[in-house]
Chains A and B, each alone.
Chain A
Amino acid sequence: MAAPKKNPASEKGQDKAQEKGNGAKKPPIPELTRDEELKALRDMLLIRRFEEKAGQLYGMGAIGGFCHLYIGQEAIVVGMQMALKQGDQVITGYRDHGHMLACGMEARGVMAELTGRHGGYSKGKGGSMHMFSKEKHFYGGHGIVGAQVSLGTGLAFANRYRGNDNVSLAYFGDGASNQGQVYESFNMAELWKLPVIYVIENNRYAMGTSVTRSSAQTDFSKRGISFNIPGEQVDGMDVRAVKAAADKAVAWCRAGKGPFILEMQTYRYRGHSMSDPAKYRTREEVDKVRHDQDPIEQVRNRLLAAKMTEQDLKQIDAEVREIVNAAADFAQHDPEPEAAELWTDVYR
């Protein structure tokens, strides 16, 4: 297998690119309050433990089909949510369990959908990639790579049409970034000044293809330059950096200035999905990121340095595990949908 080309945004060089900061000196990252840190820790832990449990249930055969885990990327959704207000909307692709939990959807409803039960958010008819909550302003959950980008642009269109100041977040990956409809969406968003933040979760691999092997331009924050859309690269493993970038982008959009691109540099510890043996990267690479940059560890360390005790933090983990275990329990005992549901929800 050919070695990846050396490139400023390659796996080895990504940290360097961040330091360089496109030529400008980066301002210091604003600190979070203790309450914000605690909430971030809890929210990220909920996602982490939920995903671990989902992986386990998949291994037991309780979850079938597709299951794409967000482990390692938790700081992105959690940091972005901290900048939103009621009414703002979220849409993403199929690595979506973390987004749902961050939006406030119930763990048991998500887990029961993964196990295909009638208590799942979609009554068991959608599965991992197709859950929605109008109430929590979460618009899916989409299986076709890139589809969520035009759909998210449409959500922003509706906001502009209605004259409200809601912002839409459209999340997609480094792989989806090469889809044609992404650029069609960028063009319309800037042309019509739509309030949409494009959050590119660059975890360096589109399934088995690294960014250096798939993308002629690996600085994804620049992908909107052709359409005059501003963009920034963000350390997606640091929830403080994510929140700071989110605040800036949200302010831009709410002011009616049009779309904004945020490239979140991140990493997934597991394979692309449950059936991916992930042979395209070394165990050492995964371990290094986990050791040096784990988003949850970063927050824990700051809290410990601020005189919280291990006991306090373990307590949070225990509470989160209880939620997740209760969800898994529900998800495995709730009945499957009634046979008659085969025919429902085709038409309104």
Chain B
Amino acid sequence: MPIQVLMPALSPTMEKGNLSKWLKKEGETIKSGDVIAEIETDKATMEVEATDEGTLGKILIPEGTADVAVNTPIATILADGESAADLGKAAPAKQEKAAESAAPAEAKSEAPAEAKSGGGEEKKAPAAPKAAAEPDPEVPEGTEMVTMTIREALRDAMAEEMRRDPDVFIMGEEVAEYQGAYKVTQGLLQEFGAKRVIDTPITEHGFAGVGVGAAMAGLKPIVEFMTFNFAMQAIDQIINSAAKTLYMSGGQMGCSIVFRGPNGAAARVAAQHSQDYSAWYSQIPGLKVIAPFSAADYKGLLKSAIRDPNPVIFLENEMLYGHSGPVPKLDDYVIPIGKARIVRPGSHVTVVSWSNGMSYALKAADELAKEGIEAEVIDLRTLRPLDTDTIIASVKKTGRAVTVEEGWQQSGVGAEIAARIMEHAFDYLDAPVARVSGKDVPMPYAANLEKLALPSVAEVVEAAKAVCYK
């Protein structure tokens, strides 16, 4: 049957155009790929190529016609063996919506209208599924607690996971022979060898991509960034390749990878080496974002992160590497991702923080206690998924909340927490949520200015007293 050529949409937004020129005449042979007409849109003049072969039967829209709607039949093509007599029997090329022309309707399909039209009915989006956070594992009574530094807790976590699973390996700058820029990977090269503990060149964008590719192939890389400041070079691979590919592939192409390293301010390293990326990464669906504070949490959560089949951002802090804490001496101490921990119970005000912010929060709680204000300090431990339930349960009890972070205030994690408290516990609040954060400046070098740029215990105390109206 003769084929109808339809007016094509030559850009995603084109709805009509001018048929400016025919380049073939009725009766001429048409081969696949031949340019048959020129069409003017508001943006450009484009050429129309034939996809079918045969003879140009009839021109339906003459040259020079303006405002031809997309999908209007503009010509018919006769296949081999057909003649002008067959023109009356022309069947329309397959089309989705009803055309203005006299083309008979195609068999009605159940499929909705073409993507361009934006859909007929406005369907309400189904509600997001809710996930409940699992509690920490019970530490059996009588378990020995070993005091170790966070540095050691991280190393032990990686060593245990590398012993357990031969697909786990670590790559990064100076992780092998230098024993780790911050000595976190000390001893790993000796135990596991150069195949599994890999020194990379200083090429974050490239080696992050290599890590993601290896994860797509089924290995379990740990990619260390010497600091997360340098991960900005690699952030396209983290977000566009690692975080989004499972979704874009309809569930086929996952990526079990951990990106870890120091995040946020250190000491006197100034603006380019002090940024806190908590807010950036915790915004991205597809990533999990962990930011522990205690040695036990560092160990248990890094093990979970390595086992997790999703891409995980593990935000450490250089100032905490030397801090010690008790870690349970267990063969397999694994903490589930996504659960906050109430580190210090209290009834007057909820203080929410994570990572190094906890240092200020806990010291402030001690100060407040001297004045009879009992703060309930929550260590989020995981920023995505965020444990809203623990925060809300606490605020329903205290009626007041303060968030503490080293990062900048605008669009920070504190802003997200404040929004959620407002959404879920508005009627329980006796005061607005107060946010304590780093100041809205790049980190200065001078010691006094750096101190001013960061939050302080005094600021947390002041904020807590303010929300208590004291």
Contact A154 B116 (CB under 8 A): no
Whether B11 lies near A275 (C-beta < 8 A) is: yes
Q: Which residue in chain B gives the minimum CB-CB distance to A269?
A: B33
B205 and A132 form a contact (CB under 8 A): no
Q: Which residues from chain A contact B210 at a C-beta distance below 8 Å?
A: 150-151, 153-154, 157, 185, 188
Cβ proximity bits B80-93 to A, threshold 8 Å, 1 near / 0 not: 00000000000001
CB proximity to B under 8 Å, residues A74-93: 89, 91
| Pairwise interchain contact B6-A60, C-beta atoms closer than 8 A | yes
A184–B251 contact, CB under 8 A?
A: no
In this assembly, does A340 line the interface, its C-beta being within 8 Å of a C-beta of chain B? yes
Docked-complex contact B51 and A144, CB < 8 angstroms: no
Q: B306 to chain A: closest CB distance in Å?
A: 14
Q: List chain B residues, Cβ under 8 A from A132.
A: 245, 249, 252-253
Alpha-carbon gap, A130 to B251, bound state (A): 12
Cβ contact within 8 Å between A62 and B253: no
User: Chain B: which residue is nearest A116 at the CB level?
Assistant: B115
Q: Can you show 16 pairs from A to B with CB atoms below 8 A apart?
A: A52-B32, A59-B8, A59-B9, A60-B96, A61-B117, A91-B213, A132-B245, A134-B252, A147-B241, A154-B216, A161-B214, A274-B10, A333-B110, A343-B126, A345-B247, A345-B250
* CB proximity of B396 to chain A, nearest CB, Å: 28
Contact with B along A93-135 (1 / 0, CB 8 A): 0000000000000000000000111001111111000111110
Q: Of B111, B116, B195, B253, which contacts A336 at CB under 8 A?
A: B111
Report A-chain residues with C-beta under 8 Å of the C-beta of B208.
Answer: 150
Q: Is the CB of B253 within 8 A of A191?
A: no
Task: Known A150-B213, A154-B216, A348-B309; judge A181-B114 contact (CB<8 A).
Answer: no
Known: A154-B211, A154-B213. A64 touches B115 (CB 8 A): yes
Please state if B209 and A149 are interface contacts (CB–CB under 8 Å).
yes
B236 touches A187 (CB 8 A): no
- Leading 4 A-B pairs by shortest Cβ distance: A154-B213, A150-B209, A184-B206, A59-B8
Scan B250-264; emit 1 where CB is below 8 A from any A CB, else 0.
111110000000000
What size tier do the contact residues of chain B reach? 35 or more
Q: Give the chain B neighbours of A344 by CB distance below 8 A.
A: 251
Distance in angstroms from A227 CB to nearest chain B CB is: 11
Mask, A265-294, CB within 8 Å of B = 1, is 000011000110101000100000010000
Q: Is A42 an interface residue (CB 8 A)?
A: no
Interchain CA distance A49-B216 in the complex, whole Å: 31
Q: CB of A231 within 8 A of chain B? A: no
Q: Complex formed: what's the CA distance from A132 to B35 in Å?
A: 33
CB of B164 closer than 8 Å to a CB of A: no
Q: Which partner residue on chain B sits nearest A89 by CB separation?
A: B217
Instruction: Please determine whether B216 and A139 come into contact, CB atoms closer than 8 angstroms.
Output: yes
B205:A60 contact, CB within 8 angstroms: no
Chain B residues lying within 8 Å of A340, measured Cβ to Cβ, are 126
Report Cα–Cα, A157/B409, bound state, in Å.
Answer: 41
Q: Within the complex, which residue of B33, B213, B248, B310 is in contact with A155, where a contact is CB–CB below 8 Å?
A: B213
Interface string of A27-70 (1 = CB under 8 A from B): 00000000000000000000010001101101111111100000
Chain A residues with Cβ under 8 A from B310's Cβ?
A: 347-348
A-side contacts of B49, CB under 8 Å: 52, 55, 270
How many angstroms from the CA of A277 to the CA of B11 in the assembled complex? 10
